[in-house]
C-alpha cells in the first residue's frame, strides 16, 4: 500500500518543529524583560481603572438624563395628573362662590385653586367654572354643593345639590372621573354630561333625585347596584320609557329615602351651559329584559339590598353572608364588583386578615376597580 504523502510530510514537519532547543534556560536579558512586563501590568491596571471611570461616568450621565427626563415630564401640563394632584382652578366666577375647607367658609375668586376635600358652594343665580390641568372643565350651577372628594388620577366629586356640568378630557386607562350623587354614581370616559339633583318624583325611578343627561361620549351610571351605560343624547332615568331596562329594586334604596329627606333637591340651574339648553336629543328606547334574566337580576338586587340593610343595622356577619351568597351565585354578575367592595369593607371592621385576603382577591379580579384604593390600603396595611 502506497503511504499517504501527506502523512509522510506531516511527520517530517512534526519532527522538524519538535526540536526547539532549551527553553528553560535563563534568557540573557531577563531583567529587562521582567521590567517591561511589570510596566505592562501597571498600564493594564491603569486602563482598567480608566474604563471603570468611563463606565461610571456613562452610568451617572444616564442617571442624570433619567432624572432630568422625569423632571421634564413633571413639568408637562398633564404631569399633575400623571404624577399627583390635578387641582382645579376657578375661572370667571360669578358672585358669592365660596369654598368650605376644614369647617371654614371662604370666598374664592378668579384663579383660586381648589384642592381635594374642599366643598364648593354657589348661591342661586351664580355659577363657578373649574378648569383642571388635565383639560377637564367643570361648571357648577347655582345653589350647588359639590365636594372634591378625590383629585388625583381618579377624580371623584360628590354632588349634593345643584347641577354639575363636565367636559371631561380623554382619560387614560389609569384615570377615572366619577360624580357621586346621594343615590347614584356617574362615571365617564372622555365625555360631556350633566348631573342634576331634582326633587324626587315617586313616578320616576322610584323617586331618585338624580338626573343625568349625556351630551357627548358614554357615561356609566350605577344605581341600586345596577350599572347602566348612557350614551350621547340619552338621559337617565328616562322616565318616559314604557319598559325598564332594569327591574325596579324590591325596596327603595335606603340611601334614596335618607337623601330625599336630607337633601333639598334643586331645579336645574337657569344658567345652564348653552350647549345643554339647546340640546333636545331624542331618548333611545331601551330593549326589554327577558323574564328569566330579569329574575336573576332581581335576585342579585335583592341580595345586595339585603346585605346593605344588614350592614346599616350593624349586623356585619349577616351582611357578609348575604354578599358571599351573591358572589357565590353570580360571580360574574353586574353586582359582583360592588359586592366585593362592600364585603371587603365589612371584613375590614372585624377581621383584618380576611379583609386583606379579600382585598388581594379584589385587586386580582378588578385591577382598575372603583375600590382599588381601599383594597391597596388593606393590602399594605395602611389606614
Partner 1 sequence: MTSRSQPEGRPRLWVVPSHDEGSPRPSRPRLPPPTLDDSELLASIRAGDPDAAAALHDRLRPAVERSIRRLLGYGDRDHEDLTQQAMIEVVYTIDRFRGDCPLEAWASTVAAHVVYNQIRRRTTERRIFDTVRLDEGDEPASLHSLSRDAAARSTLRRVMTHLDAIDEAKAWTYVLHDVCGYDLREVAQITETSVAAAQSRLVRGRRELRERLAGDPELASMLTEKSKGEHQ
Do 249 and 266 touch, CB atoms closer than 8 A? no
Q: Which is nearer to partner 1, 42 or 365 (CB)?
A: 42
Q: Stretches 14-22, 91-99, 178-186, 205-213: which one binds partner 1 (CB under 8 A)?
A: 14-22
| Least Cβ distance, residue 42 to partner 1 (angstroms) | 5
Q: Is 287 a residue that touches partner 1 (CB under 8 A)?
A: no
What are the start-end ranges of the H helices in 76-164? Answer: 79-83
Give the distance from CA 101 to its chain's centroid: 25
Q: Which is nearer to partner 1, 36 or 312 (CB)?
A: 36
Q: Is 4 a residue that touches partner 1 (CB under 8 A)?
A: yes
Q: In the range 45-104, which residues lie near partner 1 by CB under 8 A?
A: 45-46, 48
Q: Which residues contact 183 (CB under 8 A, 6 or more apart)?
A: 208, 209, 210, 223, 224, 253, 255, 256, 259
Residue 16, all three cell numbers: 522538524
Q: Is 19 a residue that touches partner 1 (CB under 8 A)?
A: yes
Total binding residues for partner 1 by CB under 8 A? 38
| Least Cβ distance, residue 5 to partner 1 (angstroms) | 4
Q: In the range 118-157, which residues lie near partner 1 by CB under 8 A?
A: none
| Least Cβ distance, residue 365 to partner 1 (angstroms) | 51
Q: Is 42 a residue that touches partner 1 (CB under 8 A)?
A: yes
| Least Cβ distance, residue 8 to partner 1 (angstroms) | 5
| Least Cβ distance, residue 52 to partner 1 (angstroms) | 12
Q: Which residues contact 295 (CB under 8 A, 6 or more apart)?
A: none
For residue 375, CA distances in Å to 269, 328, 378 come to 38, 20, 5
Applying CB under 8 A, among 1, 23, 243, 280 the residue interacting with partner 1 is: 23
CA distance 231 to 80: 29
For residue 142, CA distances in Å to 35, 88, 93, 121, 193 come to 93, 18, 11, 8, 17
Q: Is 172 a residue that touches partner 1 (CB under 8 A)?
A: no
Q: Which residues contact 257 (CB under 8 A, 6 or more apart)?
A: none
Do 146 and 124 touch, CB atoms closer than 8 A? no
Q: Stretches 29-37, 53-61, 86-94, 305-313: which one binds partner 1 (CB under 8 A)?
A: 29-37
| Least Cβ distance, residue 58 to partner 1 (angstroms) | 20
Q: Stretches 11-19, 61-69, 158-166, 366-374: which one binds partner 1 (CB under 8 A)?
A: 11-19
| Least Cβ distance, residue 355 to partner 1 (angstroms) | 55
Q: Which residues contact 189 (CB under 8 A, 6 or more apart)?
A: 168, 171, 177, 217, 218, 219, 220
CA distance 198 to 203: 13
- β-bridge pairing 226-231 and 128-132: unpaired
Q: Is 1 a residue that touches partner 1 (CB under 8 A)?
A: no
Q: Which is nearer to partner 1, 44 or 170 (CB)?
A: 44
CA distance 183 to 136: 24
| Least Cβ distance, residue 59 to partner 1 (angstroms) | 20
Q: Stretches 5-13, 97-105, 186-194, 201-209: which one binds partner 1 (CB under 8 A)?
A: 5-13
Q: Which is nearer to partner 1, 12 or 62 (CB)?
A: 12
Give the interface with partner 1 as residue ranges (CB under 8 A): 4-6, 8-10, 12-27, 29-30, 33-42, 44-46, 48
Amino acid at each position: 500500500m502506497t503511504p499517504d504523502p501527506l502523512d509522510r510530510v506531516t511527520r517530517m514537519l512534526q519532527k522538524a518543529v519538535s526540536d526547539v532547543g532549551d527553553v528553560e534556560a535563563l534568557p540573557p536579558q531577563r531583567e529587562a524583560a521582567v521590567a517591561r512586563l511589570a510596566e505592562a501590568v501597571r498600564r493594564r491596571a491603569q486602563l482598567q481603572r480608566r474604563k471603570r471611570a468611563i463606565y461610571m461616568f456613562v452610568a451617572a450621565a444616564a442617571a442624570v438624563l433619567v432624572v432630568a427626563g422625569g423632571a421634564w415630564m413633571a413639568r408637562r401640563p398633564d404631569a399633575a395628573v400623571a404624577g399627583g394632584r390635578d387641582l382645579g382652578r376657578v375661572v370667571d366666577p360669578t358672585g358669592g362662590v365660596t369654598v368650605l375647607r376644614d369647617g371654614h367658609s371662604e370666598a374664592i375668586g378668579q384663579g383660586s385653586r381648589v384642592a381635594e376635600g374642599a366643598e364648593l358652594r354657589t348661591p342661586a343665580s351664580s355659577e363657578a367654572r373649574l378648569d383642571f390641568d388635565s383639560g377637564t372643565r367643570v361648571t357648577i350651577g347655582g345653589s350647588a354643593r359639590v365636594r372634591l372628594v378625590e383629585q388625583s388620577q381618579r377624580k371623584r366629586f360628590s354632588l349634593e345639590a345643584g347641577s354639575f356640568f363636565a367636559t371631561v378630557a380623554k382619560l387614560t386607562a389609569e384615570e377615572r372621573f366619577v360624580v357621586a350623587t346621594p343615590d347614584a354614581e356617574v362615571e365617564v370616559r372622555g365625555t360631556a354630561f350633566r348631573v342634576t339633583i331634582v326633587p324626587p318624583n315617586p313616578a320616576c325611578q322610584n323617586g331618585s333625585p338624580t338626573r343625568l343627561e349625556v351630551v357627548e361620549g358614554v357615561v356609566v351610571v350605577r344605581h341600586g347596584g345596577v350599572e347602566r351605560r348612557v350614551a350621547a343624547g340619552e338621559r337617565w332615568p328616562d322616565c318616559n320609557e314604557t319598559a325598564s331596562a332594569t327591574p325596579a329594586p324590591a325596596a327603595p334604596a335606603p340611601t334614596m329615602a335618607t337623601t330625599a329627606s336630607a337633601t333639598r333637591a334643586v331645579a336645574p340651574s337657569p344658567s345652564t351651559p348653552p350647549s345643554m339648553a339647546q340640546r333636545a336629543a331624542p331618548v333611545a328606547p331601551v330593549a326589554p329584559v327577558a323574564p328569566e334574566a330579569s329574575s336573576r337580576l332581581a335576585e342579585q338586587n335583592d341580595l345586595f339590598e339585603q346585605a346593605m340593610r344588614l350592614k346599616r343595622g350593624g349586623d356585619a356577619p349577616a351582611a357578609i353572608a348575604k354578599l358571599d351568597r351573591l358572589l357565590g351565585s353570580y360571580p360574574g354578575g353586574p353586582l359582583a364588583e360592588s359586592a366585593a367592595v362592600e364585603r371587603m369593607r365589612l371584613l375590614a371592621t372585624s377581621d383584618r386578615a380576611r379583609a386583606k385576603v379579600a382585598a388581594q382577591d379584589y385587586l386580582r379580579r378588578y385591577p382598575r376597580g372603583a375600590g382599588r384604593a381601599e383594597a391597596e390600603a388593606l393590602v399594605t396595611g395602611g389606614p
